[in-house]
Structure 1
Amino acid sequence: MPEIASTLRVLPPSPWTARPGARTAWRCEPAPAEVRAFHATLPDYAPTPLTELPALAAELEVGRVFVKDESARLGLPAFKALGASWAVHRILAERAAGARPGPVTLVTATDGNHGRAVARVARLLGQRAHVFVPRGVHPRAVSAITAERAKVTEVPGPYDEAVRLAAEAAREADAVLVQDTAWPGYERIPGWIVEGYSTLCAEIDEQLTAAGAVAGPGLVAVPVGVGSLAQAVVTHYRSRPRAQAPALLAVEPQAAACVLESLTRDAPVSITTGETSMAGLNCGTPSSIAWPHLRNGLDAAVAVSDADAARAAARLAGLGVSSGPCGAAGLAGSRAALIGPGSGPRRTALGIGPSSVVVLLSTEGADANPHSAHVTAG
């Protein structure tokens, strides 16, 4: 896999960056409407809950807080099946139109959830799956992938190395790479995966309206790895009228804040990542197709520690929401932005006041990506 930029170094402490004017200066085309219609045809489809948590609204000093709970999506404990199912649907339809019958091997690299989703879709559709996992992925996460009858190759290097090896393996006959990150020359299938995530945003619109928050959110906090989900969120909210545009906050681990570093430099860079309990966010290079959306559409990015994420997960659990460290990153980042040290200027940059509506995307359940870090809630 080619690197987006030549920079490769350990990320220095850089917890926050703001992008003034993102809500008003840039717009894009919306995701295809047929994505939601496709998901509605799937046997296990149902909108995931959007849970209002008044206790968090009081804590964050805002009007209302809603958590989009992705702990049970299409039979899996994370949102990733939305993108995998739409992309595989498009791949198989294209192969059928090209008179290429017979099973295909779907190849991917993963920190856990995406690979499990690809393996699940492959099994249900009678296809094969080969999943590459980087170092640090918990054995239980690997077992969950093998339980879907997928071949698993464990890689001694980081996520980016697993992606490179998966791309090499997919060059074999009757194999297709289904990766949720893009680079020059490999962008169409990652684009389909991003389109698949749009269903999550469409559900939020409907659920906020049903809850009486008809004006929509004032802030959406999204956990970020390579940026594919964030790209979907940016696409959704930056394709609507400026008056309806919320602030968008990206949240990453301090050990793997490649998007924050790229935004700080105003250019996409690759970084050396460290160990983190937020395994699904442990990525060192932004997706090439996500980067323009992130650069132009995000209002801010913040990096949080493993301890911050663990405390946020414990807080959500106490309020009845199952969330792993990746999913809880949105709450951890919102705490840092809205009530942490220096929060006054940060709230101003995000346009957040005491009556604002905040939506936190909890992208996985507590058991989606097992990890070894345990921190007492505080």
Structure 2
Amino acid sequence: MSAFSLKIDIADNRYFNGETSPLFSRRQAQQARHFHQKITGYQPTPLYALKDLSALLGVKNILVKDESQRFGLNAFKMLGGSYAIARLLCEKYQLNIDDFSFDTLKTTIKEKMTFATTTDGNHGRGVAWAAKQLGQNAVVYMPKGSAQERVDAILKLGAECIVTDMNYDDTVRYTMKVAQENGWEVVQDTAWEGYTKIPTWIMQGYATLADEAVEQMTSMGITRPTHVFLQAGVGAMAGGVLGYLVDVYGASNLHSVVVEPELADCLYRSGVKGHIVNVGGDMATIMAGLACGEPNPLGWEVLRNCATQFISCQDAVAALGMRVLGNPLGHDPRVISGESGAVGTGILAAVHYHPQRDALMQKLGLDRDSVVLVISTEGDTDAKHYREVVWEGKHPATR
């Protein structure tokens, strides 16, 4: 068997207490899913069982939730933005979210609104999509180095899109300033003092994918996963999804691992210290959707309480995951997974081929009875770079 060593730093969460959050519960997730089910074109994204890969890697099952098939947007992010915008408008016009429909709201809105956000690509596309559905405006700011394909995808939805010369976190602050000056509504998936309601709604919206996955696992005869690998930028998706899963299964019954790129590993560092640690600089990782240096405090609280471990890894791990999912073993289905989407699977593959495989498997609690859930959060949202990785071998596992 081939052996190669990719950088995978694993930190046990010494601050784990298993406390769940009422904000990110099964009940909240199911309310969000009820909203999403009323959107034209809604259907659960597939949950694939990679049986042949599981056999190779020495676990019972690897389950991949393929979010590239979400409303034709190639990523999961619209789940949060659309739900938050709907909740915001229901609050403004005294409507019940359970009775909400885009068509009803279009006729209710009396003055055109502008929604502003910062994005690495997928979240902004989701906000632009929701604004278009409602006949509203969206202004989207992106950090320097953003791929033109991601910019174009937002522009095609009728939003204004501006690429700044700042990193993600500084762009968030700039967006807030401009939005306040113009009276725009900010729809951001990170939180700070005085800005928690909308990020909470966004995180609750993300949990729709977890509610689907639990339902799908039940239909497959799977009682529960033993492990879940959740990639994190600010930690909004990881926090929202983990909050739901621990409410369903119990935090002590789920080995949960939060995965980040080493150039933007703010949650890994926070997990080591037990308090929020920010990361600055350019954060020039290929995992653009995870290139965030300041944790969402709402997500951090859930992860600090309920995550089992934190991982910081090099970009080649994500590239390995892209190639593994895109070139399946045996009869496994093919999954087109982008840089941020594939890193969970990349960790599993990198561990398998590592010279210290057995020690890493033991560290992660992986064995023949493990059922591992991973979320492929995006497809090839930067198709050019996807081909460079999968076809041309960019970011190789060995040199």
TM-score (norm 2): 0.85
Cα-Cα RMSD: 2.3
Cα distance in 1 for partners of 2:279, 2:59 equals 35
2:41 is the alignment partner of 1:15: no
2:365 is the alignment partner of 1:351: yes
Give the alignment of 1:254-333 within 5 angstroms.
254-273=262-281, 274-319=283-328, 320-333=334-347
Which has the larger displacement, 51-60 or 109-118? 51-60
By how many angstroms is 1:92 displaced?
Answer: 1.1
Which letter does structure 2 place at the counterpart of 1:67?
Answer: V
How many positions carry a matched residue from both structures?
364
Which letter does structure 2 place at the counterpart of 1:66?
Answer: L
Cα distance in 2 for partners of 1:202, 1:73 equals 14
2:51 is the alignment partner of 1:54: yes
Cα distance in 2 for partners of 1:258, 1:338 equals 26
Match of 2:185? Answer: 176
Cα distance in 2 for partners of 1:140, 1:75 equals 15
Which has the larger displacement, 367-376 or 141-150? 367-376
Give the alignment of 1:237-252 within 5 angstroms.
237-242=245-250, 245-252=253-260
Give the alignment of 1:3-42 within 5 angstroms.
15-19=9-13, 22=16, 25-29=18-22, 30-31=25-26, 32=28, 33-42=30-39
Which has the larger displacement, 27-36 or 311-320? 27-36
By how many angstroms is 1:16 displaced?
Answer: 1.7
SS at match of 2:48: strand
The 1:74–1:260 alpha-carbon spacing in structure 2 relative to 1, beyond 3 Å, is same
Which has the larger displacement, 27-36 or 152-161? 27-36
Deviations 1:159-217 (A, max 9, x none): 0111011111221354100001111111110000000011100111111111121x210
Cα distance in 1 for partners of 2:21, 2:91 equals 26
The 1:219–1:293 alpha-carbon spacing in structure 2 relative to 1, beyond 3 Å, is same
1:122 to 121, 128, 131: 131
Match of 1:157? Answer: 166
By how many angstroms is 1:27 displaced?
Answer: 2.8
Maintained 8 Å contact 2:258/2:311: yes
Structure 2: runs of 5+ lacking an equivalent: 1-6, 96-107, 329-333
Which has the larger displacement, 259-268 or 327-336? 327-336
Which letter does structure 2 place at the counterpart of 1:117?
Answer: G
By how many angstroms is 1:341 displaced?
Answer: 5.0
Match of 1:10? Answer: none
1:112 to 103, 113, 121: 121
Cα distance in 2 for partners of 1:243, 1:168 equals 38
Maintained 8 Å contact 1:256/1:282: yes
Structure 1: runs of 5+ lacking an equivalent: 1-12
Cα distance in 2 for partners of 1:305, 1:263 equals 18
By how many angstroms is 1:20 displaced?
Answer: 5.4
Cα distance in 1 for partners of 2:382, 2:87 equals 26
2:218 is the alignment partner of 1:224: no
Maintained 8 Å contact 1:141/1:369: no
Match of 1:93? Answer: 90
2:42 to 41, 45, 57: 45
By how many angstroms is 1:346 displaced?
Answer: 4.5
SS at match of 1:226: coil
Deviations 1:73-122 (A, max 9, x none): 12210000110110010111112129973111000000000001100110
SS at match of 2:146: coil
Deviations 1:298-333 (A, max 9, x none): 111112222221121011011210100100011122
Maintained 8 Å contact 2:8/2:314: no
The 1:101–1:338 alpha-carbon spacing in structure 2 relative to 1, beyond 3 Å, is farther
2:197 is the alignment partner of 1:188: yes
The 1:244–1:47 alpha-carbon spacing in structure 2 relative to 1, beyond 3 Å, is farther
Which letter does structure 1 place at the counterpart of 2:354?
Answer: G
By how many angstroms is 1:368 displaced?
Answer: 5.2
SS at match of 2:68: coil
The 1:346–1:240 alpha-carbon spacing in structure 2 relative to 1, beyond 3 Å, is farther
The 1:310–1:172 alpha-carbon spacing in structure 2 relative to 1, beyond 3 Å, is same
Which letter does structure 2 place at the counterpart of 1:180?
Answer: D
2:212 is the alignment partner of 1:203: yes
Cα distance in 1 for partners of 2:181, 2:93 equals 19
Cα distance in 1 for partners of 2:204, 2:241 equals 10
Which letter does structure 1 place at the counterpart of 2:264?
Answer: A
By how many angstroms is 1:221 displaced?
Answer: 0.7
Cα distance in 2 for partners of 1:340, 1:232 equals 31
Question: Where is the helix percentage greater, Structure 1 or Structure 2?
Answer: 2
Percent identical? 36
Cα distance in 2 for partners of 1:336, 1:14 equals 8
